[in-house]
Structure 1
């Protein structure tokens, strides 16, 4: 079985602690896709950060609005 590429999280913390929690999550190799408050709790979606060395990344700039 492969490791999951996404996780659903739910926790209750003070808003002041959010930055500390985000750093801890990123240090473990995950990125927060979406994090929303819900009745005193935070609910979110994490995605595994994978940097494959053999893959080439391409930057596609946003379209200009005229």
Structure 2
């Protein structure tokens, strides 16, 4: 089953965001500005692990520019 591409509600009008969908039991991620470009594919377990880390703020330091 393939779901429609979705993006976060916090995305801005300038296209500074990524879109995600479920496709062939994988989670796909693409750059909104380059919809015909490359697509990153993750297993559900990989994506769930990333979401868990994001919810736990494990990656917040990446926004500090360090």
* TM-score (ref. length: structure 1): 0.31
Using CA pairs under 8 Å that are at least 6 residues apart, name the structure with larger relative contact order, 1 or 2. 1
Higher strand fraction (1 or 2):
1
Higher helix fraction (1 or 2):
2
Q: Which has the larger radius of gyration?
A: 1
